[in-house]
Amino acid sequence: MKILVCISKTPDTTAKIAFADNNTKFAADGVQWIINPYDEWYALVRAIELKEKDPSTILHLVNVGMADNEPIIRKALALGGDEAIRVNTDNSDSFFIASQIAAVARQGNYDLIFTGKETIDYNGSAIGGMVAELLDLPYISHAIKFDLEGTDAIVTREIEGGEETDKAALPLVVSCQKGMAEQRIPNMKGIMGARSKPLNVIEPVAADALTSVASYELPPAKAGVKLVSPDTPEELVGLLHEEAKAF
């Protein structure tokens, strides 16, 4: 069993969102970077659990990004995983990134590829589906539960208005979200061990970039809250009905 987990880097959930260079770049000064929560808490931890169940499992991590991503890759290795691959590029187009991951996946012949459901900065929800298409594999998105039954995967995923449990033969691409696993904190042994795990850097394969960011903008500021006295909540109902026309 060989598993590949896709790891991306995002600003901390509390980071101040601001833009530089005439609103064309994210202002990264002073920003704390983390592993994208869906990748860390759900995709990676579930993969580690599968390896704990079957220690013969080989678990690789892949990140597409520049050398400054290495601290978060090491942190992911401290949680678990045997080795990591970093594809050295700063191209941020989803199709370009997916093409790189697909190339790594072809090389490694993985049975299972996990991604997060989305990155919390770009909110693309795109890489998993693209990788699956490039590899001509089935794709189960928004998984909340994952188990193996021989060479079949039993996956519960979120659908519009409910849940669905699916069965599919490996190999398979799965995007992971809440429910898959519980967040873990790396321990000292993991952190020390991660230092000597291989982190292989490879150059990108040729691929097209189909999109680019022209500019960023911040939403207009809210006008400010209109407060109603707790003694007369019916006034709030009146305002919502007549002023905001909310119902």
Ligand X SMILES: Nc1ncnc2c1ncn2[C@@H]1O[C@H](COP(=O)(O)O)[C@@H](O)[C@H]1O
Choose the contact partner of 187 out of ligand X, other proteins, ligand FAD, none; CB within 5 to 8 A by kind.
none
Footprint of ligand X on this chain (CB under 6 A)?
6-8, 36, 38-39, 43, 62-65, 94, 97, 115-116, 118-119, 122-128
Q: How far is the CB of 230 from ligand FAD (least distance, A)?
A: 10
Are 9 and 65 in contact by the 8 Å Cβ rule? The answer is yes
Q: How far is the CB of 225 from other proteins (least distance, A)?
A: 4
From 45, 78, 98, 176, residue interacting with other proteins (rule: CB under 8 A)? 98
Are 82 and 60 in contact by the 8 Å Cβ rule? The answer is yes
Task: Note whether 22 binds other proteins by CB under 8 A.
Answer: no
94-108 vs 127-135: helix axis angle to the nearest 10?
50
Residue identified by tokens 């189909």 is: 210
Q: What are phi and psi of 173, to 5 degrees?
A: -110, 135
What is the per-residue binding string for ligand FAD in 32-71, x denoting contact by CB under 6 A?
-----x----------------------------------
Choose the contact partner of 218 out of ligand FAD, other proteins, ligand X, none; CB within 5 to 8 A by kind.
other proteins
- Can you give the length of the chain in residues? 247
Q: Which is nearer to ligand X, 187 or 200 (CB)?
A: 200
Task: Note whether 13 binds ligand FAD by CB under 6 A.
Answer: yes
Q: How far is the CB of 147 from ligand X (least distance, A)?
A: 20
Q: Are strands 112-116 and 172-176 parallel, antiparallel or unpaired?
A: parallel
From 29, 54, 203, 208, residue interacting with other proteins (rule: CB under 8 A)? 208
One-letter amino acid for residue 81 of the chain: G
Are 171 and 154 in contact by the 8 Å Cβ rule? The answer is no
Task: Note whether 158 binds other proteins by CB under 8 A.
Answer: yes
Tokens of 142: 């928004």
Tell me how far apart the alpha carbons of residues 198 and 160 are, in angstroms, rounded to a whole number. 41
Span 116-155, contacts to other proteins by CB under 8 A: 120-134, 138-142, 144, 154
Closest CA to 72 of 23, 20, 37: 37
Task: Note whether 87 binds other proteins by CB under 8 A.
Answer: no
**Site size for ligand FAD (CB under 6 A):** 2
Nearest 5°: the CA angle 165, 158, 48 is 75
Positions that interact with ligand FAD (CB under 6 A): 13, 37
